[in-house]
A and B are shown apart, each in its own frame.
Chain A
Amino acid sequence: AQSVAQPEDQVNVAEGNPLTVKCTYSVSGNPYLFWYVQYPNRGLQFLLKYITGDNLVKGSYGFEAEFNKSQTSFHLKKPSALVSDSALYFCAVRDFSSGGYNKLIFGAGTRLAVHP
């Protein structure tokens, strides 16, 4: 069965420091991977995706993610955190086995808290 794991419920980081939000996945075949961010009282917003090609993917708001096939990971990173980055982050993988090919399987989410 395909799955996504976000091992940390919460990540705390000081403003200006680099941040990493971890994600590992389990899929059959090549993964299509996504990161979304959720701000309070808002829906999920797309940050970035990995489909194929360069393992380092750049996305919105200065975020990037590194795809590592051998470790089955897709960690989200940012060189310098901002207080405004504080939000709930979801990693997701496309499930091609059901859900009409567009279905996403989400991790449980990681709350990022950036302190001034």
Chain B
Amino acid sequence: EAQVTQNPRYLITVTGKKLTVTCSQNMNHEYMSWYRQDPGLGLRQIYYSMNVEVTDKGDVPEGYKVSRKEKRNFPLILESPSPNQTSLYFCASSLQGGNQPQHFGDGTRLSIL
């Protein structure tokens, strides 16, 4: 089954404790992206990757890091999480091309205390 898998689905942690949210897709998609969803704001792009070893900032990259060492994986790293990063996070992937729909994971709800 074609899917985007995120882990963990839920995480409660404390300020300053490094964490990684994993994202993996099995569709051989070149493009991958991380979004955060906050009430009333829709989804905002954090980072994206056009292909292996090619990553760039989205609209709200502060406090986050990513890597793309393999085509299927695109982890999101919070080196020193803060309460304002409490949010619902989505990973998405798609083929290249502006007309391609994106496929989303089921989300990771992070609570930073």
Q: Which residues of A approach B to under 8 Å, CB–CB?
A: 4, 32, 34, 36, 41-46, 49, 51, 90, 94, 96, 99-104, 106-109
Q: What residues of chain B lie closer than 8 Å to A108, measured between beta carbons? A: 40-42
Q: Are A103 and B45 in contact (CB under 8 A)?
A: yes
Q: What residues of chain B lie closer than 8 Å to A99, measured between beta carbons? A: 33, 45, 48, 56, 58-59
Asked if B102 lies at the interface with its beta carbon under 8 angstroms from chain A, I say yes
Q: Are B98 and A46 in contact (CB under 8 A)?
A: no
B11 to chain A, nearest CB (A): 15
| Selected contact of B50 from candidates A100, A104, A106, CB within 8 Å | A100
Q: Are B97 and A106 in contact (CB under 8 A)?
A: no
List 17 contacting pairs A-B, 8 Å CB cutoff, sorted by A.
Answer: A32-B98, A42-B107, A43-B107, A44-B90, A44-B104, A46-B102, A90-B42, A94-B98, A99-B58, A101-B96, A101-B97, A102-B33, A102-B96, A104-B102, A106-B44, A108-B40, A109-B42
| Selected contact of A102 from candidates B41, B42, B100, B106, CB within 8 Å | B100
Q: What residues of chain B lie closer than 8 Å to A45, measured between beta carbons? A: 104
- Decide if the interface of chain B is mainly helix, strand, loop or mixed: strand
Nearest 6 A-B pairs (CB), nearest first? A43-B104, A106-B42, A46-B101, A106-B43, A44-B104, A102-B31
Q: What residues of chain B lie closer than 8 Å to A32, measured between beta carbons? A: 98-99
- Decide if the interface of chain A is mainly helix, strand, loop or mixed: mixed
Q: What residues of chain A lie closer than 8 Å to B50, measured between beta carbons? A: 100
Nearest opposing residue in chain B for A43, CB measure: B104
B29 to chain A, nearest CB (A): 10
Asked if B81 lies at the interface with its beta carbon under 8 angstroms from chain A, I say no
**Complex Cα gap A87–B56 (Å):** 32
**Complex Cα gap A102–B102 (Å):** 8
Further contacts, 7 of them, CB under 8 A, given A102-B98, A106-B42 = A32-B98, A34-B101, A46-B101, A46-B103, A94-B98, A99-B59, A103-B48
